[in-house]
Amino acid sequence: MATRFYKVYDFSQHGKEPQELYSVRTISLDNKMICLVRLVDGYYAIDDRCPHAGARLGMGKCTEEGMVVCPIHRYQYNAKTGRGLPRQGDFVSTYPVENREDGIYIGIEKKWWQF
């Protein structure tokens, strides 16, 4: 397995801060729906699908503590670890995000033949 990085924001087109602080946004990438979150120390990416009943986390919001809140039943997931609150007992997958000189990139694991 190797990680392929996809540019999701180009600073020359979207500016240096393409998302507001604590904003969430759904991004369709490589047949996946990913929720991109901006926190004080950078961007984080988690699965966009809420494991509770399938709502889009990118339609929700993010708290100042870095918890993504689902728009339907308000379950919360940590934007950095993907962990839900302890009483929920579930989690969402996380994806690596790189802030490079020219933009923001999200990494997706691929098998060698998928490159």
> Contacts with ligand FES: how many residues (CB under 6 A)?
9
| SS3 (DSSP) at 12 | helix
Check residue 95 for interaction with ligand FES (CB under 6 A).
no
The residue among 46 and 104 lying less far from ligand FES, judged by its C-beta, is 46
Which long-range contacts link 25-31 to residues 24+ away (Cβ below 8 Å)? 25/58, 26/56, 26/57, 26/58, 26/59, 27/58, 27/106, 29/106, 29/108, 30/4, 30/6, 30/108
- Among 39, 45, 35, CA closest to 17: 39
The residue among 75 and 105 lying less far from ligand FES, judged by its C-beta, is 75
x/- binding map, residues 43-62, to ligand FES, per CB under 6 A?
Answer: -------x-xxxx-------
The residue among 34 and 104 lying less far from ligand FES, judged by its C-beta, is 34
In the complex, least distance from residue 34 CB atom to ligand FES, rounded to whole angstroms: 16
Main-chain dihedrals φ then ψ at residue 94, nearest 5 degrees: -115, 160
Interacting residues with ligand FES between 66 and 85 (CB under 6 A)? 70, 72-73, 75
Return residues touching ligand FES (CB under 6 A).
50, 52-55, 70, 72-73, 75
